[in-house]
């Protein structure tokens, strides 16, 4: 039997939760997002590859939100460093390890989409490629 791919969403969010204090880290946007700020939403998006050995090269979308533009920007830049360090340190989760990190785009401010931007919501988005391997 071939190895099962690790849960990349869980690996990424668990790694970020260990480093970020004062920010909520989730896989999806909560309906009551304003109650969770500052907020980091990190999840796998289509794209990437997997090998028969269970090595997964995943594209991760990360959005960081806060009530202040500077805070949202700082959070996005902090998440980038935290995720790169987690990969460098080979962060271990329940069913796998993070290993390789690569910038794809960002972080950059986004003012469109849902939830809508406003005077109390600033969002920055970035995309990273990470490699995960099973235990």
Per the CB < 8 A criterion, the answer to whether 81 and 64 are in contact is: no
pLDDT at 2 over 80: no
| Burial (0-12, 13-18, 19+ Cβ within 10 Å), 60 | buried
What is the length of the chain? 135
The answer to whether residue 118 scores a pLDDT higher than 90 is: no
Bond prior to 38 in cis (omega within 30° of 0): yes
Q: Please name the CATH architecture into which domain 8-134 falls.
A: 2-Layer Sandwich (3.30)
pTM for the model: 0.95
**In this structure, how many other beta carbons lie within 10 angstroms of the beta carbon of residue 66?**
22
Of the pLDDT bands very low, low, confident and very high (cuts 50, 70, 90), residue 1 is: confident
Alpha-helical runs (H) found in 62-131:
69-88
For residues 66 and 77, give the distance between their C-alpha atoms in angstroms, rounded to a whole number: 13
Classify strands 96-110 and 39-50 as parallel, antiparallel or unpaired: unpaired
Judged by average pLDDT, the poorest of 14-18, 85-89, 94-98, 114-118 is: 114-118
Q: For residue 27, what pLDDT band results from cuts at 50, 70 and 90?
A: very high
pLDDT tens-digit map of 40-95: 999 999 988 888 888 999 999 999 999 999 999 999 999 999 999 999 999 999 99
């Amino acid at each position: 039997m071939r190895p099962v791919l690790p849960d990349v969403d869980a690996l990424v969010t668990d790694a970020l939760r260990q480093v970020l204090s004062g920010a909520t880290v989730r896989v999806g946007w909560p309906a009551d997002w304003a109650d969770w700020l500052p907020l980091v939403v990190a999840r796998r998006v289509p794209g990437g590859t997997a090998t028969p050995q269970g090595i997964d090269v995943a594209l991760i979308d990360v959005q960081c939100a806060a009530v202040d533009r500077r805070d949202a920007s700082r959070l996005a830049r902090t998440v980038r460093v935290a995720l790169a360090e987690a990969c460098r340190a080979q962060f271990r989760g329940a069913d796998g390890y993070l290993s390789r990190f690569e910038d794809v785009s960002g972080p950059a401010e986004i003012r469109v989409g849902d939830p809508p931007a406003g005077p109390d919501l600033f969002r920055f988005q970035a995309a990273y490629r990470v490699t995960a391997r099973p235990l």
